[in-house]
Structure formats: structure tokens, C-alpha cells
Amino acid sequence: MKIGFIGLGNMGAPMAANLAKSGHTVTGFDLAAPCPEGVAKAETAAAAATGQDVVITMLPNGAILKSVAAEILPTMSKGAVLLDCSTVDVESARAVADDARALGVLAMDAPVSGGIGGAAAGTLTFMAGGTDEAFAIIKPLFDIMGQKAVHCGASGNGQAAKICNNMILGVTMIATCEAFALADKLGLEREKMFDVVSTSSGYSWSMNAYCPAPGVGPQSPADNDYKPGFAAELMLKDLRLSQQAAEAVDADTPMGERAAALYSSFVEDEDGKGMDFSAMLPRFEKRSRG
């Protein structure tokens, strides 16, 4: 396929490189980042999108996505696919899909899970929203860039799946960190805590696969001074998106709301920016109940 790739940051660059290595013709554009090996450079986003079978975007937020879409959609061929892999608000994803449809372009929102390591290794998980036709066209590319792609339904549903998943993740990580901090003060060894909870009803991905306590369980960012595998500021972004969506549809999400407030304090008022989202554990260690 002929592919345009707009947004060549920490995630986009390795994704584009993997597509190029697999034999696709990839033309990239980014305002600041260089093109990875095998990817031709375009001077504008519109130039990167013109004449392509698929245009992939990996952008910071919904406002930038809508701005880029307004620039590139009129240049795209009818029947081409705009695949947005950014994590943005549901409303922006659906608005871009509507604009694409009006111009005869297929649209799919497919945010990812798996982080920078997954992007480099080609083991991302894609949560895709859009038509069956668009998914069928994109599926071979998902197979190159990732290990799994789930078609979640209509446009916007990929974003909905991502933010619901990450709301659960943020809440369970906070609960896991709270529990370790409480166990410390009760005199319960962390390894004993892990052995019980990881095989009991407190089992979760946050405990079993990504334990926030260093030296306990499988290797995780906690064992690397909390250098981010998934940065706290990205968790805050996703939790805020979950609350924006909850407000839009009048959903009661008190735990998600509280998690967003805690990560907001951690990132913006404390020392959480640039740390892994599991660094909530040392935060709770230092705090008293008052």
C-alpha cells in the first residue's frame, strides 16, 4: 500500500518504520521529529496525504486531529482510509469521521495500547471504531504494527474502549498502591502481600503484571526507579478524557473522577510528571491519613 503517516513522535516513528520495513511505501510528516529510516519526508501534512491508499495520524489531542483532518481530507482520494491512532475525545473522533464520510473518505479511529516498546516491537493492541469496509482494508497494517486489533463498532467506539479500559487501569493502580502503603504500615511484608493478592480476589493487571512495588512480582517500571513505561501525565490525559466522555453522556463515574483528581495532583502539584503512573506508591508511602 501507499501510506501517509502524520505524527512521527515516540509512537508514530516506530509504527511508520515497521510499515516501511514490511514493504509498504510510506511518506511521513511531522512538524519537528525526523522521518525514521525507510520513510520518505513530505514538506506538509497535505503532501503526505495526497494520493495515498491509507493515511495514518498519531497526534496529541482532538483539537490537533481536527485541524490536521481539515487540511488533509480534501487532498485524499475517494475510497482512501484515514486511520487515526491518536488517543482523543470521542466527540472529536466522530466529528472527523463525519467530515471524512462527506468527502468520500473512509475513517477509522484506532487508539493503541502497548506503549513505546509495543510500537517498536510491533506488538500493539488496536481498539478500532469504524465501518467493516475500513477495518478490512486496514487489517493487514494492524497485523504489522500490532499483535491484536479489536473492531469495537462504529466510529468513536475505539476511543470509547480505550478510555473505559484506562479508567479501570487508573483506578486499580491507585487501589493497588494504597494497599501496599497500608500493608507497610501494618507490618505486612510486600512479598507476602503480593503472594496473597496475586492469587486471590484482589488479582488485577496492576498487581500481577505491573506491580508498583520494586522487587516484587515480574519486572516493571518500579524496578527501574519508576522511569515511565506509561507516564503519569498520559494516564492523567486518559482519565480526563474518560470524565469528559462521562459528562457528555451523563454517566456517573465517581471512582474515575477521583482517580483523575489524584493523578492531577500527582502530575501538576507534586513530582509525578515524567514518572511512571505506578509511582503513586512512593507518593502514598510519604503521606499520612490527614
Q: Residue 277, SS3?
A: helix
Residues 253, 50: Cα–Cα separation, whole Å = 42
Distances (CA, A) of 66 to 21, 84, 91, 108, 140: 29, 11, 11, 14, 26
Exactly one of 162, 237, 273, 286 is catalytic; name it: 162
Q: Give yes or no: 162 in active site.
A: yes
Cβ-proximal residues to 15 (8 Å cutoff; 6+ apart), any chain: 5, 56, 58, 85, 119, 124, 145
Do residues 223 and 215 touch, judged by C-beta distance below 8 A?
A: yes
The DSSP result for 181-222, as a single string, is HHHHHHT--HHHHHHHHTTSTT--HHHHTS-SSTTSSS--GG
Of 196, 152, 166, residue with least CA distance to 259: 166
Do residues 259 and 171 touch, judged by C-beta distance below 8 A?
A: yes
Instruction: Catalogue the active-site residues.
Output: 162
